[in-house]
Amino acid sequence: MITWNNLDKLSSYKELFDVKKVNLQEAMSGENGAERVKNYSTPMAEGLAFNYAARPVDESVLEALKKLAEEAQLAEKFKALYNGEMINTGEKRLVLHHLTRGQLGDTVEADGVDKRAFYVEQQNRIAEFAGKVHSGQITNGAGEKFTTVVQIGIGGSDLGPRAMYLALENWAKKNNAFKMEAKFISNVDPDDAAGVLNTIDVAHSIFILVSKSGTTLETLTNESFVKDALKNAGLDPSKHMIAVTSETSPLAKSDDYLAAFFMDDYIGGRYSSTSAVGGAVLSLAFGPEVFAQFLDGATEEDKLAAEKDVMENPDMLDALIGVYERNVLGYPSTAVLPYSQALSRFPAHLQQLDMESNGKSVNRFGEPVDYVTGPLIFGEPGTNGQHSFYPLLHQGTDIVPLQFVGFRHNQMDTDVVIQGTTSQQKLCANVAAQIMAFACGKSDENRNKNFEGGRPSSIIIGDQLNPRSLGALLAHFENKVMFQGFVWNLNSFDQEGVQLGKVLAKRVLAHETDGALKVYSDLLNI
């Protein structure tokens, strides 16, 4: 039987405080460090590996974390989730994003429908539609092929799909899989929509409106912006727009759209990249075959996440080490540092994924918790970040755990040799050097040049960033967030924190304000 207990009620959590802390400098120095790097690694899907040698753990800490995983019933809770139990207690919903890419357990029925079959049906419908667009069977009003796809959405309807598109754009161009350029409009700031529209040929663009409810104010505002641009160009908007929405929304059966593809309430926006939300734009941009590969990579990682043995489950292991760093060692934030320019927006996606999911101070029953929960997440690609915020990471007063991502080979297969090494080798040299510099530091009599070390990091290493490895990478972090939510006894799948600002904004627009809110409204000329 599954029990949902707060972290501070678990005896294994209390025992963690009695385990001797690891001296990371000593552990990573000399031959000890070499052995750690060889041994402290867990295989992931699609050739990736999670190397945690530079994290502040040893066999004693790992044994204690295994006990925590067992007492917190992490494997059992994940099994309950993918078998269709109501895990989202706040909204009284199932949590089914894993089903968008594969079936790990039992058939899950909801609303009288086999949900895996439903998601596959939407993927097939999208694939058929994308094929007709690419072949010229579906064209603009003048009978000409579409060359650009523009996604209109906000939050999870933008951040995840945008990050995935950018991650695969160069790979697709190199591998003859690039079908259409993709653009994204998310901000209600009119400069966002205008800026995108000024860079495209609207006559040859197809627009995807993403709104589960069909009532999202920012998204519908941007839709109106786009429709005006189409009309001003003498075009019929209904010949240029599709919708990704729920079957019950006003967008589902509207003549304003060429087609509508469906999502449901069982997938939160930040978990929707493998649903129709990501499927439509990625299938149009790269072809449905590439999107299918992306899903395959994700489901292979999900299979590893279902492993009960922590040491064979990289997602759970990463999550537990993160809890140890946050709750026992007291580290307040985590940096995600991909050494791949293609992952330039991946940290931004993880910001929403992690902080919207676990940035909570009440448990899944709405009761306050007496311990810290989700860390602040930030990051930028290396090596540029080294010349930006790394000084604080090396020498600041807070210790910030680091999660590096690196690949042995670049996507474009284009490089240059300077001073005997390629750019890719220089990139990889930088990430290796940074891991050791953070862990071991450098002594200097000049305190300004002194690096204390003891700064923990892990790295996910792969051969190349491609659709399958990207899917595995995404699933890893989704599952890590899920497991940490289980440990902290949070509901990682609702988003009440988004709602208050929306309510107040509507009051401002209706001029139903007083006090400070009215003054702010006046200052902004609303």
pLDDT above 90 covers a percentage of the chain that reads 91
pLDDT band at residue 502 using 50, 70 and 90 as cut-offs:
confident
Report pLDDT digits (tens) over 43-98.
999 999 999 999 999 999 999 999 999 999 999 999 999 999 999 999 999 999 99
Catalytic pick from 9, 21, 303, 502? Answer: 502
Q: What's residue 107's pLDDT?
A: 98
CA 55/CA 28 separation, integer angstroms? 10
Residue 127 amino acid letter: A
- Give span(s): CATH 3.40.50.10490, the chain: 97-292
**How far out from the chain centre does Cα 165 lie?**
13
Residue 485 near residue 492 (C-beta atoms within 8 A): yes
pTM: 0.97
Which residue from 385, 399, 383, 391 is spatially nearest to 448, judged by alpha carbons? 391
CA 485/CA 479 separation, integer angstroms? 10
Report pLDDT digits (tens) over 335-363.
999 999 999 999 999 999 999 999 999 99
pLDDT band at residue 334 using 50, 70 and 90 as cut-offs:
very high
Q: Please report, for the chain, how many H helices and E strands are present, in that order.
A: 18, 15
The contacts of residue 524 (CB under 8 Å, 6+ apart) are none
The contacts of residue 121 (CB under 8 Å, 6+ apart) are none
Looking up tokens 């350029």, which residue turns up?
A: 181
Q: What's residue 424's pLDDT?
A: 95
Which residue from 145, 128, 232 is spatially nearest to 181, judged by alpha carbons? 145
pLDDT band at residue 504 using 50, 70 and 90 as cut-offs:
confident
Which residue from 394, 322, 404, 314 is spatially nearest to 56, judged by alpha carbons? 322
- Please state the rounded mean pLDDT for residues 216-237: 92
Q: Which two tokens stand for residue 222?
A: 């941007």
Cross-strand pairs, 478: none
Q: What's residue 407's pLDDT?
A: 98
Catalytic residue at 502? yes
Q: What's residue 24's pLDDT?
A: 98
- Please state the rounded mean pLDDT for residues 240-256: 93
CA 374/CA 359 separation, integer angstroms? 5
Strand 457-462 to strand 49-51: parallel, antiparallel, or no bridges (unpaired)?
antiparallel
| Cis? peptide before 383, omega within 30° of 0 | yes
Transcribe 341-392 into DSSP letters.
Answer: GGGTTHHHHHHHHHHHHH--SB-TTSPBPSS--PPEEE---TTGGGGTTHHH
The radius of gyration of the chain from alpha carbons, rounded to an integer in Å, stands at 24
Counting Cβ atoms within 10 Å, is residue 487 exposed (0-12), middle (13-18) or buried (19+)?
buried
CA 228/CA 240 separation, integer angstroms? 12
Report pLDDT digits (tens) over 380-403.
999 999 999 999 999 999 999 999
Catalytic residue at 212? no
CA 201/CA 479 separation, integer angstroms? 39
pLDDT of 414 > 80? The answer is yes
Which residue from 517, 191, 212 is spatially nearest to 509, judged by alpha carbons? 517
CA 151/CA 166 separation, integer angstroms? 13
Catalytic pick from 356, 360, 476, 478? Answer: 356
- Please state the rounded mean pLDDT for residues 426-433: 95
pLDDT of 505 > 90? The answer is no
Residue 159 near residue 269 (C-beta atoms within 8 A): no
pLDDT of 302 > 80? The answer is yes
CATH architecture designation of domain 97-292: 3-Layer(aba) Sandwich (3.40)
Q: What's residue 9's pLDDT?
A: 98
Q: What's residue 364's pLDDT?
A: 96
Q: Which two tokens stand for residue 447?
A: 């305190």
CA 291/CA 280 separation, integer angstroms? 9
Q: What is the 3-state secondary structure (H, E, C) of 145-203?
A: CCCEEEEECCHHHCHHHHHHHHHHHHHHHHCCCCCCEEEEECCCCHHHHHHHHCCCCHH
Catalytic pick from 20, 387, 445, 511? Answer: 387
Looking up tokens 């009309």, which residue turns up?
A: 231
CA 13/CA 33 separation, integer angstroms? 27
- Please state the rounded mean pLDDT for residues 296-322: 98
pLDDT band at residue 370 using 50, 70 and 90 as cut-offs:
very high
pLDDT of 499 > 80? The answer is no
Q: What's residue 196's pLDDT?
A: 97
Q: What's residue 496's pLDDT?
A: 81
Cross-strand pairs, 457: 402
pLDDT of 498 > 80? The answer is no
To the nearest whole number, what is the mean pLDDT of the chain? 96
Report pLDDT digits (tens) over 137-167.
999 988 999 999 999 999 999 999 999 999 9
